[in-house]
């Protein structure tokens, strides 16, 4: 572990091995800790360094430790969805366990944020391990696993044609009530309407979730609210469009205020100390 000091925070660099593989991470550690740690997950651009830079000021403002894993292409060609081929969930859990053991003052529960492919991983991770998370913030996911037992997996929680679907469906159904009790914050740019090469498409997906990331974000919010209400759970779901924003995380943060929305307000009486 190495640390780099800057203003009122330092950055630790970690390399954590798990049974699923090794993941590297940067951990922004504010000198004053005032809020629950935040796990920040990158998308297919794998821009962990950029996200560290973009979230650093907010980490210092709120006293939130921020953990930014980096799934390297050569080690993790696929990381957006836990499957038989890749278990990014196991790597993340081991990373969080190491951080919790090293910094017990942080506690063992985390909030999680992901953009695009990172949002895909974030909501699937929270569905599998809802006991480890508080607020789940999802920005511009390409598609979702809906809490819908009539839609085939991986788009929903009904049996499908995938060979490994049964176990994943069982695990996600088992934790569904706990997941639906989490605070869910969904974000998307109001101009995120392009059907680019990175967006998964198909007749069933388009019909069930919408044709664009903006449409799919709204569809997911509706699906979660409906699933919670069917189970007698009061949904804690918000849906926020970022004005003028496309599918660009830096624009969403610098122009749409996404990082500040995700990290939230500083605790009452919390003050910054600059070195």
Query: Within 13 A of 41's CA, how many CA atoms are on the CB side?
Result: 32
In a domain, 248, yes or no: yes
| Residues ≥6 apart with Cβ < 8 Å to 51 | 40, 42, 68, 115, 249
- Taking the C-alpha atoms of residue 128 and residue 146, their distance in angstroms, rounded to an integer, is 13
Helices and strands in the chain, H and E counts: 9, 9
- Taking the C-alpha atoms of residue 109 and residue 92, their distance in angstroms, rounded to an integer, is 13
Contact yes or no for 247/196 (Cβ under 8 A):
yes
In a domain, 272, yes or no: no
Residue 24: closest CA among 5, 42, 9: 42
pLDDT in single tens digits along all 275 residues of the chain: 445 444 589 999 999 999 999 999 999 999 989 889 999 999 999 999 999 999 999 999 999 999 999 999 999 999 999 999 999 999 999 999 999 999 999 999 999 999 999 999 999 999 999 999 999 999 999 999 999 999 999 999 999 888 789 999 999 999 999 999 999 999 999 999 999 999 999 999 999 999 999 999 999 999 999 999 999 999 999 999 999 999 999 999 999 999 999 999 988 877 644 33
pLDDT on residue 10: 95
- Taking the C-alpha atoms of residue 41 and residue 51, their distance in angstroms, rounded to an integer, is 9
String of DSSP letters for 67-126: EEEE--TTT-S--SS--SS--HHHHHHHHHHHHHHH-GGG-S-EEEEEETHHHHHHHHHH
In a domain, 271, yes or no: no
Structural domain tally of the chain?
1
- Taking the C-alpha atoms of residue 70 and residue 65, their distance in angstroms, rounded to an integer, is 16
Range of the domain at 187: 2-263
In a domain, 274, yes or no: no
pLDDT on residue 127: 98
What CATH number is given to the structural domain containing 113? 3.40.50.1820
Strand partners, 110: 133
In a domain, 270, yes or no: no
Q: Cα 85–48–96 angle (5° rounding)?
A: 65
String of DSSP letters for 166-228: HHHHHHHHHTHHHHHTSEEEEEEETT-----TTS---HHHHHHH-SSHHHHHHHHHHHHHHHH
In a domain, 177, yes or no: yes
In a domain, 275, yes or no: no
In a domain, 50, yes or no: yes
């Amino acid at each position: 572990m190495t640390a780099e000091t800057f203003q009122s925070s330092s950055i630790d660099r970690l390399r954590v091995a798990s049974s699923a593989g090794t993941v590297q991470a940067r951990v922004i550690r504010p000198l004053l800790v005032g809020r629950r740690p935040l796990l920040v997950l990158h998308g297919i651009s794998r821009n962990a360094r950029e996200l560290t830079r973009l979230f650093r000021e907010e980490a210092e403002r709120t006293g939130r430790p921020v953990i930014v894993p980096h799934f390297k292409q050569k080690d993790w060609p696929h990381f957006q969805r836990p499957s038989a081929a890749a278990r990014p969930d196991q790597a993340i859990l081991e990373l969080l366990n190491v951080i919790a053991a090293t910094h017990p003052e942080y506690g063992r529960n985390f909030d999680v944020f992901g953009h695009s492919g990172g949002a895909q991983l974030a909501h699937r991770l929270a569905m599998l391990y809802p006991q480890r998370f508080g607020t789940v913030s999802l920005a511009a996911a390409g598609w979702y696993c809906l809490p819908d037992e009539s839609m085939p997996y991986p788009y929903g929680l009904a049996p499908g044609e995938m060979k490994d679907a049964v176990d994943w469906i069982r695990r996600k159904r088992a934790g569904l009530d706990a997941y639906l009790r989490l605070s869910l914050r969904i974000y998307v740019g109001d101009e995120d309407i392009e059907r680019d090469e990175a967006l998964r498409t198909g007749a069933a997906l388009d019909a069930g979730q919408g044709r664009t990331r903006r449409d799919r974000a709204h569809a997911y919010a509706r699906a979660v609210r409906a699933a919670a209400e069917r189970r007698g759970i009061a949904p804690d779901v918000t849906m926020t469009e970022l004005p003028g924003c496309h599918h660009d995380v830096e624009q969403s943060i610098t122009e749409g205020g996404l990082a500040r929305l995700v990290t939230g307000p500083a605790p009452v009486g919390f003050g910054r100390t600059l070195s």
